[in-house]
Amino acid sequence: MEVSFIVPVYNVEQYIRPSLDSILNQTHRDIEVILVDDGSTDRSGAICDEYAAKDSRVRVIHKENEGTGYARNTGMDAASGEYLYFCDPDDFVSPVLIEDNYRIAKENDADMVTFGYKTVWRKENGVSRNREEVVIPPVLGAYNRESYWNRFQEFGIGGTVWNRMFRRSFIEAHHIRYTNLSNGQDTYFVYDAFSAPFNKIVFNDKMYYTYMKRSGASTTVYKPQRTENEYMIACRFEEMVTALPYCEGLCGGAVKARYLWVLSRTLGNISRAGKDLSLHEKVNILKYAADKERIRETLCTVKMSEIHAKSTRVMVMLFKLRLYKTVVILGKIREWLKPE
């Protein structure tokens, strides 16, 4: 096969059919679709089997629940495609996603292709979020490893996998695998891929993926381990950029921003807990985050002139003054929090 779709599936029976229909509607037909049923307790696994019975390109792997990261690893182990594409089971893909991006990958002999996507806040329980956000790569074209990292400040990386295709031989050669963090396993995987010696990466400005943001999804609920996971990811980011000769002396601001992002994510996380956490507990979580070694050093050294967003400057100032209770109170205002 030319491209392997890998789809981790867990308890998404009400969303999975439209998603699978969009996958199987690809204009590029030489694909396989590997559905990894990660121990679903609803009808998701049965729906996967139903699609496999109707379309020979679909394979289903049923396994015990271990989390999205390990489910994707299981899919990679079974994949035979020249390129890998990771799709979530409640989102939608453009019918020309594979046709366009596989052609681009082959024309440029690329190990990775990155393209645009749209986030839609899903209407649920009769309430419409009435919000969409389109994200496209800020710089376009094909780049080798050196030319990409020399312009890293313009590009950034991002931490999603469903707006990228990866050459399977590249992933396997560098032993790139998913962790099973309760959040952020996508970002860890992307960082490992970008830090490996890739041949070329291509940036495509067209939008091919629709990410459906819904309440109750893993990114919208409180997770006790989020701060620890985000800190690990920030440390991995610093390790990645400081190990690359192309980034020497150029990425200090990006590293600081990544550690400050841990504070922002922590604030967003405790806001989702609502009344399940007391004010005292929320303050202690913020103290815990701010006292992490690299975050503490960042708060001591970062200058306000290095921070572009006004809300982040205010947040950092309050953290510097250790006014955690004020941070919690202001954090309830949604304008403070970036959409995730």
Q: Does residue 126 register a pLDDT over 70?
A: no
Is the whole-model pTM more than 0.85? yes
Higher pLDDT, 338 or 118: 118
Q: Does residue 248 register a pLDDT over 80?
A: no
Beta-sheet pairing, 92-93 with 132-135: unpaired
pLDDT the model gives residue 310: 87
pLDDT the model gives residue 192: 95
Q: How many Å separate Cα 164 from the centre of its chain? A: 11
Q: Give the pLDDT band of residue 3 (cuts 50, 70, 90).
A: very high
Q: Tell me the per-residue pLDDT of 81-113, one tens digit each, with 9 for 90 and over.
A: 999 999 999 999 999 999 999 999 999 999 999
Q: Give the pLDDT band of residue 181 (cuts 50, 70, 90).
A: confident
pLDDT the model gives residue 334: 47
As a whole number, mean pLDDT of residues 23-48 equals: 97
pLDDT the model gives residue 124: 55
Picking from 50-54, 167-171, 218-222, which range would have the lowest pLDDT averaged per residue?
218-222
Q: How many Å separate Cα 233 from the centre of its chain? A: 12
Picking from 42-56, 275-289, 304-318, which range would have the lowest pLDDT averaged per residue?
304-318
Q: Does residue 218 register a pLDDT over 70?
A: no
The tokens describing 202, both together, are 């291509």
Residue 322 DSSP code:
T
Distance CA 207, CA 210 (A): 8
pLDDT the model gives residue 287: 97
Q: Does residue 170 register a pLDDT over 70?
A: yes
As a whole number, mean pLDDT of residues 257-269 equals: 93
Contacts by 246-249, CB closer than 8 A, 24 or more apart: 246/145, 246/146, 246/149, 246/150, 246/152, 247/149, 247/152
